Amino acid sequence: MFKPEKYNFKSFKEKVWLSSPTMHGEELKYMTEAYVSNWMSTVGANVDEVERLAAEYTGVKYAVALSSGTAALHLAVKSAGIEAYGMPALPHGALEGKYVFCSDMTFDATVNPVVYEGGIPVFIDTDYETWNMDPVSLRKAFEIYPDVKIVVMAHLYGTPGNMEEINQIIKEHHAILVEDAAESLGAVYKGRQTGTFGKYNVISFNGNKIITGSSGGCFLTNDLEAANKVRKWSTQSRENAPWYQHEELGYNYRMSNVIAGVVRGQFPYLKDHIRQKRRIYERYKEGLEGLPVSMNPIPDSCKPNYWLSCILIDEEAMCRTVYGEKEVLYRAEKGKSCPAEILEAIRSINAEGRPIWKPMHMQPIYRMHPFIIRDGNGRAGSNAYIEGNVSDIGMDIFRRGLCLPSDNKMAGDQQERIIEIIRACFE
């Protein structure tokens, strides 16, 4: 139970963010180069260099620089759809009416592109070991929907999913993996970078990611033909002709050469950012020892990028909480706490935490969609948590978990104060 009057914690003068951009100076140099050379466009040296750096760092053959991670996911999903089902006749999407297996506990940007292409997301429950797509539930999903051809999975908070098992299941069913590595750039699973496991993969340079261009993203693949296709679609699908000739639907999805200058300046600092975020995670882990909480998991098989540090409160230490559609109510209780209370306490000293991604099967927009848990069909459509009524792992992590301030510019003593306030919540 948090009693602010008892502690009198001082507020931070400058807000401590969840995860904000960290610039180093070189970004401005490359942006200025774009300006001075007048390559104020979606082509230029910065764009070329971002594509080279992204491919080189992750270890794929080809990267295509795009306006956002979401745009990259759209074209990745479209590529997978055309590969699985052929080129759609206009005005249909590549996935018209087709089921697609998707991560359930993730940002909605992971799954919206499936709908852009006319597909129907089928949500797959999460596992406690990685907080990502649960291989057991995925296997179950293929039993129920054996014809599904595409799996879209995200690596949450910078920790890779169980790629070995997931890829094995996908292989057995001759399906295509689209990997959403928007949050996990630089994370490694069994020696291999995330963003390289799927046939079509995506990273993001949105403002709060591990490195940023303010916005932007890349499509990653080892398939030259796919890379060329995506590049063509992203530039309005111009054919090679003396005039504007169009045979396919096009998009305006290219990365700006100015933004690419920012990304280019950030890439050399990716490893530093990971080191700083790792330090933050470890400091929380040490500082919160003895409390009835655990950190977001790190399986032995991987080296995360530690993008966000999160905690999960032990069931026994949860005070009673009820989630409505847009509000949460809890009953403060001695010795116990809950995400809402901790988030409030953190906010009270001018720092920013965040709830865990609310699972897609609990979202009004998607709650009528199929949802698969280990035992088979999950309870899609469930929106409000009622005591003792948690039916799946994603909902449980959402209910008991939260993201802590994880900004790599947060000072050690600031983090200490945040740790103290979390401790105070459990008194």
Ligand X SMILES: *Cc1c(COP(=O)(O)O)cnc(C)c1O
List of residues contacting ligand X (CB under 6 A): 68-70, 106-107, 109-110, 154, 180, 182-183, 204, 206, 217
Q: How far apart are CA 392 and CA 412, in angstroms?
A: 36
Least distance between ligand X and beta carbon 252 (Å)? 15
| DSSP assignment string, 147-180 | T--EEEEE-GGG----HHHHHHHHHHTT-EEEEE
Of 206 and 296, the one with the shorter C-beta distance to ligand X is 206
Of 81 and 417, the one with the shorter C-beta distance to ligand X is 81
Least distance between ligand X and beta carbon 84 (Å)? 21
Beta-carbon neighbour count of residue 38 at 10 Å? 8
Least distance between ligand X and beta carbon 231 (Å)? 18
Contacts of 410 (CB under 8 A, 6+ apart): 16, 280
Least distance between ligand X and beta carbon 152 (Å)? 10
Of 154 and 311, the one with the shorter C-beta distance to ligand X is 154
**Residue 355 and residue 368 in contact, taking contact as beta carbons nearer than 8 Å:** no
Least distance between ligand X and beta carbon 184 (Å)? 8
Of 77 and 313, the one with the shorter C-beta distance to ligand X is 77
Measuring CA to CA, which residue among 321, 312, 364 is closest to residue 126?
312
Provide the b/e sequence for 316-339 (b: ≥16 CB within 10 Å).
Answer: ebbbebebeeeebebeeeeebbbb
221 beta partners: 62
Least distance between ligand X and beta carbon 79 (Å)? 16
Contacts of 182 (CB under 8 A, 6+ apart): 69, 73, 107, 109, 110, 154, 202, 203, 204, 206, 209, 217
Of 182 and 227, the one with the shorter C-beta distance to ligand X is 182
Of 21 and 217, the one with the shorter C-beta distance to ligand X is 217
Both tokens assigned to 260 = 């690419």
Of 57 and 107, the one with the shorter C-beta distance to ligand X is 107
Least distance between ligand X and beta carbon 183 (Å)? 4
